[in-house]
Structure 1
C-alpha cells in the first residue's frame, strides 16, 4: 500500500490530497504557500504513516514557475519525512492536465490536487528532480546564465536591425564583428555623418580606429576601408531619422555591454562553484567541456542514479523523437518532442558543439548527420550530436571516471 500526496501549487497557497493505492482519500486540505503551511502537510503525512505503515510515500508537485521549488525543497530536506522514505517528484503540468481530462469534473484547486494524487497512484510520473543545496545553488547561476544569453541574442538582433537603417551594406563589407567593443563605439558614434565618413581621409580614419581600439585591431586600415565603402554605398536618411537610429543603436550597445559584463561575472561564479563539485572533474575531462557547460549539465542532472539508462536521460532533456507507425508503414522523419528540461538540453547542445571541434569522433558524427539532409543541417546535426553526448555524460558521471577516448571507443 502506497501513500500518494498530490499538491496543487500556486503563489499564495498549496492544495493537497493524500490518496492510498485503493483510491481512498486519507486527508485533504489547503494551506498557505509558506513554511508553516508545508509543516502542516508534513504533519498530515506523518500522522497517516503512524496509522498505517505504507510501503512508499510519494509526494508530487506540478512544475509551476518558481512556486513549487521552495515547497519541494522543504519537503525533501526534512529528517522525519526522510526516515519514512519519502519520494518528492516534480510533475510535468501537461501530463497531469491530460490525465485529468479523462474525468468529467469541475476545474478547482482541490480537484486538481486529487487528480495529481491519482496520477501518482498510476505510477507514470517522470524522474524526480534533485533539490539538494549544492545543485540548487548551481541551478540558480546556470539557469540565469541561460536567460542572460537569450537577452544578449535579442539585443544583438535588434542592434543589427537598426544598424541596417544606418549602414545597410556593413555586413558585407566589414572584415570583423560589429559586436566588438571598438566597433560598437564606432558605429554608434555621431561625430561623423555618412557623407563625412565617406569623404574622410583613410589615414585619419585609420588613426581614429587605432585610438579607439587602443591598437587592438589586427588590420585597422582594412576596417577603415570597409567603413568608407559601406558609408559610400548605403542609403541616405535625413538628420531627424538618423538621430533616432543613433539613439536606439546607443541604447542597445549599452545593453549588450552591460549584459556581457554580467555574463563574465556569472561565468566566474559558476567556475568557482564548479571547482567544489566532484562530478565536474569527470565532465571536464571531455575535450571541449569547460566549467560552465559542466556546471549546467550537472545542475540539471543532479544524481545520475536517478536515470536507469541513457534513454531516460535523453527523454528528460527532450532529446527524443516520437515514433510514428501504423500497419506496415513507419514514418522516417518525425518531429522532436517539445518537452523536457530546456536548460539541460541547452547545455548539452552547447557542449556538443564545443566537443565536436576538439574530438574527431564527435566531429565525424556531426559531419555525417549534417550531410544527410538538405536544410536545417546545423540544427539537426547539433541536436543529434547532443543526443550522442548524453550516453558519454551519463557513463562518466555514474562510474566516476575520466574520459578515455581509446577505451570508450
Structure 2
C-alpha cells in the first residue's frame, strides 16, 4: 500500500512540515515552514492534494504533536476539510513523549525541520494510534468539561485557603466534632455566619433559642436538629482563641474574599453543568453511560468527551493506559512487587472524571460497593482513612473502565449483575 506521511511540528506561529511517502523517506519530498493560520494550513493542503493526484496514494496520514492549544486548529482543519475528506486521510495528534523516544534513538540534534521529519517517520513506522476526527459536538463538550475540571480544582484550592483562614479566626469550628455539626461549613448558612464578623462576635453571648431562630431563618428550616447545631457552634466560638482587633479585621476580610470566590466558582460550575447537559443529549454514548447507577450527565459527559470513539481502543487495557489508570510492573528475577506506582502519564481529565464517577457509582450499585469495600479493606499499608479511600476509588475506577469499554463496544445498557 502506497502511503503519504505528513509530519507537522507546531508552534504558536509556524507549521514546520515534512512530507515523505512509502517509497521516498530518506529525503523528504517537502520540508518547509508555513504560518500557523488558515493561509499556511491551506498551502499545506494544496501540496497534499497535488501529491495525492500525481502519485495516487492509497492513504494519507497527517500527524502532529499535542502542543498545548497550538495544535488544535491545524488538527481540526485537516480533519474536517471537505477536499481532504475525499482522500483516505487520517489525522493524528501524538503524545510528544512518544515521538521524543523515537527521535532520540536516531538523532541527537533537535530543530524544527528535524522534528517534523521524525514525526513523519514515526507515522511511517506505524507507531501511532489514529485520533478520531471529532465532530463539533465532541469538541464543544470537551471545552466545557475541561473548563469545568479547571474550575473545580480552583474551587478546591479556594476552600483550602478558606479553611486555613477560618482556623485563625475560629479554630474550634474547624476541628469541631462532625457528628455534632452535621453540616458543611461551605453551605449558605454557615458561610453567611462565618463571613459576618458582627455575627461571630455575638454568637458567644447569644441565647441558644435566638441562635436556633437565626439558623432556621438562614437555612430556611432545612436543619433537622438546629438546637444541637446551635450549641455546637456556640461552644466552638467560645472555645476558640481570641485575637486582637487588627488581625481579626484582616482575617475577616480574607474570609469574605474567599467566601465570594467559593460562591462564584459554584455558580460558574452550575452554569457549565447546564450547558453540558444540553450537548450530552445529542450523543448516543450518553444513554449507555447514564444507565450506570450514579454516574449522571456531567461525569458521563467528561468521560465521553475524552474517550471519543471507543473504536480507537482495541482493549480495555489500552483505554486504562490512556486514562493513566495503569500500574508499572516492578519485577526483578523471581521477585514481583505487590505495591506498584500508578502511572499518571495519561489523560488527566479522563482520569479525574472516571475516579469521581466511580466514587458516586459505588454508593448506588451493590457490585461496585462490594468491590470498593474489598479494596478499601486491603489497604493495609496505611491506616489513614483518606489514603485507603483514595486507593479504593482509583481501583474502582479501573473496574469502571472495564465496564465502560464493554458497554460502548457492544452498545449495551448497564444492568447490575445478580
Map 1:112-151 to 2 at 5 A: 112-151=115-154
Q: Secondary structure in 1 aligned to 2:338?
A: coil
1:92-146 CA-partner distances (Å, limit 9, x unpaired)? 1122223222344432222221121122222222452442211101111111111
Q: Secondary structure in 1 aligned to 2:63?
A: strand
Alignment partner of 1:366 out of 349, 366, 372: 372
Q: Is the 8 A contact 1:324 1:330 kept in 2?
A: yes
Distance 2:356 2:366 in 1: 17
1:6-37 CA-partner distances (Å, limit 9, x unpaired)? 11111112111112234331112111111111
Match of 1:181 in 2: 188
Match of 1:17 in 2: 18
Q: Is the 8 A contact 1:100 1:115 kept in 2?
A: yes
Q: Is the 8 A contact 1:6 1:16 kept in 2?
A: yes
Q: Secondary structure in 1 aligned to 2:93?
A: strand
Q: Does 1:272 align with 2:278?
A: yes
TM-score, structure 2 normalization:
0.92
Distance 1:356 1:211 in 2: 35
Which piece of structure 1 moves more, 201-210 or 147-156? 201-210
Q: Does 1:341 align with 2:347?
A: yes
CA-CA distance at 1:156 after TM superposition? 0.4
Q: Does 1:80 align with 2:83?
A: yes
Match of 1:259 in 2: 265
Distance 1:192 1:79 in 2: 65
Distance 2:11 2:134 in 1: 19
Match of 1:305 in 2: 311
Map 1:182-261 to 2 at 5 A: 182-192=189-199, 194=201, 196-261=202-267
Distance 1:210 1:371 in 2: 40
1:298-338 CA-partner distances (Å, limit 9, x unpaired)? 11111111111211111111111122333333233221212
Q: Secondary structure in 1 aligned to 2:223?
A: coil
Distance 2:335 2:219 in 1: 62
Which piece of structure 1 moves more, 212-221 or 74-83? 212-221
Distance 1:122 1:373 in 2: 43
How many residues end up aligned between the 2 structures?
406
Unaligned runs of 5+ in 1: none
CA-CA distance at 1:243 after TM superposition? 0.5
Unaligned runs of 5+ in 2: none
Which piece of structure 1 moves more, 133-142 or 215-224? 215-224
Query: 1:193–1:288: structure 2 CA closer, same or farther, 3 Å change rule?
Result: closer
Supply the RMSD in Å over aligned alpha carbons. 1.7
Q: Does 1:58 align with 2:55?
A: no
Alignment partner of 1:332 out of 317, 332, 338: 338
Q: Is the 8 A contact 1:284 1:290 kept in 2?
A: yes
Q: Is the 8 A contact 1:127 1:316 kept in 2?
A: no
CA-CA distance at 1:270 after TM superposition? 1.0
TM-score, structure 1 normalization:
0.94
Which piece of structure 1 moves more, 273-282 or 250-259? 273-282
Query: 1:181–1:221: structure 2 CA closer, same or farther, 3 Å change rule?
Result: same
Distance 2:362 2:294 in 1: 8
Which piece of structure 1 moves more, 97-106 or 306-315? 97-106
Q: Is the 8 A contact 2:5 2:60 kept in 1?
A: yes
Which piece of structure 1 moves more, 104-113 or 11-20? 104-113
Q: Does 1:390 align with 2:410?
A: no
CA-CA distance at 1:218 after TM superposition? 2.5
Query: 1:130–1:335: structure 2 CA closer, same or farther, 3 Å change rule?
Result: farther
